[in-house]
Amino acid sequence: MKKRKDTASTPVVALNSCIWKKNLFIILVLVLPIAHFFVFWLYPNIDGILLAFKDMRGGEEYYTLKNFKDCFTQIFSGTGSVGSSFWNTMKFFAYDVVIFPLGIVWGYVFYKKIRGYNFFRLMFYVPSILSSVVVAGMFKYLINADGPIGVLWAMTHDGVYANFLQEEEYAFVTVLIYYYWVGFAGSLLLLSGAFAKIPLEVIESVTLDGCGWWTELWKICVPLIWPTLSTIIITTTAGFFFGGPPVLLLTGGAGNTSTISFWMYDQIKLKGAVVSFDSCLTAWTSDTCTITLTRADGTSEIVGSHSADYNRHTYSFTLAAGESLAGCKLTFSCTNSAVGHVFGNVFIQYS
């Protein structure tokens, strides 16, 4: 009599094989993202946290709170590269808060198609279409000594030119104007889309009820576009430390315009830099202008001197590793106070 083949264990073996293959597939799928998480996120963040406590003394590493002490001391005193960068960032953030209602008004103007809105829409939207490098170059040309604004300024100030991007008296305001002009387009695009989604029946109803434009804007339109407004508020607040104008493209941190984001780049990216600039005197005299560089540590050195001959003279000085251009100050001294000085065309070659 033939024995029957025992097939009772066959389904169990097949099931175990299927489970094993499924688990192997899951493991292989998860290996890469888990490795990516540990190598490119967890390790850099832990190392970055430890780096905040690291201090070098005599070539040896120590972990202290000195970095935090120095940082908060500069912030609360408003001195040093950290302090000035932090408070400049605060100023730009406060500016964002102040002009936010103005952006809503501009979006309403474009939505209602008030006379002249096409000109302003073109003026605000063009910078968002072009590259930031191109827009910054155009802006620098406009305010340069040879540009239309620079020439107009000299005509109204007895032939004396102003370096709007390097002199501390003008640099911050100039960068603020650029930031307003270029940074306005992003929120306007969002607001214009939000206004366009408002049902026409609602607007027609409030118009028939005798509602004015001010009431229509703030009591009807703003509540209806609140989801978009809340998104803009959240993104603006979240980008506090990384927002602000393109300081590197405009001033390189000169004229007390450095921000936290630029300061971080300046500390991490730069090993050193050679800064070159043009200098000329606008009056024909025998006087000699002496250009003195004062570094952040208080040391001074003469980087050049020349007489008033209407020619441009190029000088340069070298930044040390980790030194910021924002902490340096150029001083021009002439014996004749009537001599007008032009300081422009700053070139920074990073190493």
Q: Residue 38: what pLDDT?
A: 93
Q: Where are the beta strands (DSSP E) in 11-169?
A: 54-57, 60-63
Distances (CA, A) of 298 to 129, 221, 295, 327: 43, 55, 5, 10
In this structure, the answer to whether residues 218 and 122 fall within a common structural domain is: yes
Domain boundary among 249, 280, 302: 249
Q: Note whether 234 and 314 are same-domain residues.
A: no
CATH number of the domain at 180, please.
1.10.3720.10
With a cut of 90, say whether residue 54 has pLDDT above it: no
Instruction: Band the pLDDT of 351: cuts 50, 70, 90.
Output: very low
Is 160 part of any domain? Answer: yes
Asked if the structure places residue 97 within a domain, the reply is yes
Check if the beta carbon of residue 292 is closer than 8 Å to that of residue 300.
Answer: yes
Does some domain include residue 265? Answer: no
Q: How confident is the model at residue 340 (pLDDT cuts 50, 70, 90)?
A: low
Last residue of a domain, which of 217, 249, 281? 249
Q: How confident is the model at residue 36 (pLDDT cuts 50, 70, 90)?
A: very high
219 and 277 part of one domain: no
Count: domains in the chain? 2
Between 282 and 182, the more confident residue is 182
Query: Distance (Å, rounded) from C-alpha 40 to C-alpha 264?
Result: 20
Of 69-73, 87-91, 301-305, the range with the lowest mean pLDDT is 301-305
Convert the pLDDT of each residue in 219-238 to its tens digit: 889 999 999 999 888 888 87
Same domain, 319 and 181: no
81 & 228 share domain: yes
pLDDT of residue 8: 52
Could you tell me the residue range of the domain that residue 91 belongs to? 70-249
64-80 pLDDT, tens digit per residue, is 888 888 888 888 888 77
| 59 belongs to a structural domain | no
Closest CA to 144 of 172, 169, 168, 166: 166
Write the DSSP symbol of residue 186: H
Higher pLDDT, 234 or 344: 234
* Range with lowest mean pLDDT among 107-121, 158-172, 262-276: 262-276
